[in-house]
Amino acid sequence: MADLEIRDLHVRIEDREILKGVDLDISRGEIHALMGPNGSGKSTLASTLMGHPSYEITEGSITFKGEDITGAEPHERAQAGLFLAFQYPVSIPGVSVANFLRMAINAKRDEPIQVKEFRTHLQHAIELLDVDKAFTSRHLNDGFSGGEKKRAEILQMAMLQPDIAILDETDSGLDIDALRTVAEGVQRLHDEQGLGALIITHYQRILHYVKPEFVHILMDGRIVLEGGVELVERLEREGYDQIRQEVGASADAVAAGDGGV
């Protein structure tokens, strides 16, 4: 039994059905890539897994570590060990990165973390992600560059040590150095702590630095192809159009739909 089991997930936002029956199994220690064209439902899946209130699950279930979390509050999912790295991280003025991290860590614990333990932990994460120490005293994401925001996401992930992390297009908009830092961070958390990850991406670029064992292709709200890393290479050669033609009629609807979901 996988740690995270997604079964026949149907999701709607307002009147529009975005996910039309998604099945996916992810366990600790596994790196999955979820790829798909714009508008295929990738970000909807990420937000739904974390319990975003705007997304309505009409059918199916999400089970995490044996518990049904289909209707759980976002913070309950986080405390259980799920993590979402945002495509567009939100700025929280007036709260330093370090203070926020301390609050988030304490939210998962009965006793507040000791100052010394927190510092050691933070120092390790800072080195892992190649950020400046001063970074942690800045207000969270407030005035951060795109690359800094994504680094801050991975820093939080390293500190919170989730079992499964969902990375929603964390690679988009990053230059190659930032991309490499972020990707290497994920890979090291996987290697050192047994992190399980679902890397959601439109491009293949990040997958040169983090090697997924499982690759899923999402089109029109359904997973239409699954395989290993060879699927990434194939996508690189052939593009989504070729695959769309291959998987047939169901994907045609994608072309008729619009992007931005």
Task: For other proteins, give the closer residue by CB, 83 or 144.
Answer: 83
Least spacing, CB of residue 75 vs other proteins, in Å: 4
Task: For other proteins, give the closer residue by CB, 125 or 232.
Answer: 125
3-state class (DSSP) for residue 143: coil
- Position 195 contacts other proteins (CB under 8 A): no
Least spacing, CB of residue 100 vs other proteins, in Å: 7
Enumerate the H helices of 13-141 as residue ranges. 42-50, 74-80, 97-107, 115-129
Residues in contact with other proteins, counted by CB under 8 A, come to a total of 28
Q: Give the residue, chosen from 14, 15, 53, 134, that forms a contact with other proteins under the rule CB under 8 A.
A: 53
Least spacing, CB of residue 103 vs other proteins, in Å: 6
Find out whether 8 and 226 touch, Cβ atoms under 8 Å: no
Site for other proteins in 70-109 (CB under 8 A): 73-75, 77-79, 83-84, 86, 89-95, 100, 103-104, 107-108
Enumerate the H helices of 142-219 as residue ranges. 146-160, 176-193
Least spacing, CB of residue 143 vs other proteins, in Å: 13
In SS3 terms, 47-79 reads as: HHHHCCCCCEEEEEEEEECCEECCCCCHHHHHH
Each residue 240-259 as x (binds other proteins by CB under 8 A) or -, in order, gives --------------------
Least spacing, CB of residue 225 vs other proteins, in Å: 29
- Give the containing element (helix H, strand E) for 219: strand 214-219
Site for other proteins in 129-168 (CB under 8 A): 139, 156, 160
Query: Would you state the structure tokens that stand for residue 187, as one six-digit string?
Result: 């890979």
* Distance in angstroms (rounded) separating the CA atoms of residues 98 and 147: 18
DSSP type of residue 112: P
Distances from the Cα of 97 to the Cα of 86, 92, 181, angstroms: 16, 9, 18
Least spacing, CB of residue 203 vs other proteins, in Å: 24
* Binding region for other proteins (CB under 8 A): 50-53, 73-75, 77-79, 83-84, 86, 89-95, 100, 103-104, 107-108, 139, 156, 160
